[in-house]
């Protein structure tokens, strides 16, 4: 839980999912996170080998984020937690994985 025990990390992992995403795409999809917090959380996820940060030497500079093998394994666990939540939650409180 120390690796993903923050409010935002599971949501960031879901947002990246199986695709490579640029910072702006992640920020736009999440909507309610500040750029500062997103930057900090992505940096920690990279340090924990959950997310891979790939820099491209071009103009303008481009950076893409993708889940590492470790991150993909974690995504599977988070998906199972989501299914469990859907099974045992009140219908009005269900958050679907596609909404994340």
Model-level pTM? 0.82
Domains in the chain: boundaries: 9-99
End-to-end CA distance of the chain: 19
pLDDT reading at 49 higher than 60:
yes
Over residues 53-100, the pLDDT tens digits come to: 999 998 888 999 999 999 999 999 999 988 998 888 876 555 555 555
Are 46 and 53 in contact by the 8 Å Cβ rule? The answer is: yes
Q: How confident is the model at residue 3 (pLDDT cuts 50, 70, 90)?
A: confident
Of 31, 32, 39, nearest to 63 (Cα)?
Answer: 39
Over residues 10-34, the pLDDT tens digits come to: 999 999 999 999 999 999 999 899 9
pLDDT at 52: 98
pLDDT at 22: 96
pLDDT at 87: 87
CATH class, domain 9-99, is mainly alpha
pLDDT at 89: 81
Are 35 and 27 in contact by the 8 Å Cβ rule? The answer is: yes
């Amino acid at each position: 839980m120390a690796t993903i025990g923050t409010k935002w990390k599971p949501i960031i992992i879901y947002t990246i999912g199986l695709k490579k995403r640029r910072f702006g795409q992640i920020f736009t999809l999440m909507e309610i996170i500040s750029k500062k917090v997103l930057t900090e959380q992505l940096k920690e996820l990279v340090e924990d080998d959950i997310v891979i940060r790939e820099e491209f030497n071009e103009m303008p500079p481009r950076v893409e984020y993708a889940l590492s093998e470790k991150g993909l394994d974690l995504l599977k666990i988070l998906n199972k937690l989501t299914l469990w939540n859907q099974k045992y939650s009140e219908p009005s409180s269900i958050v679907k994985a596609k909404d994340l």
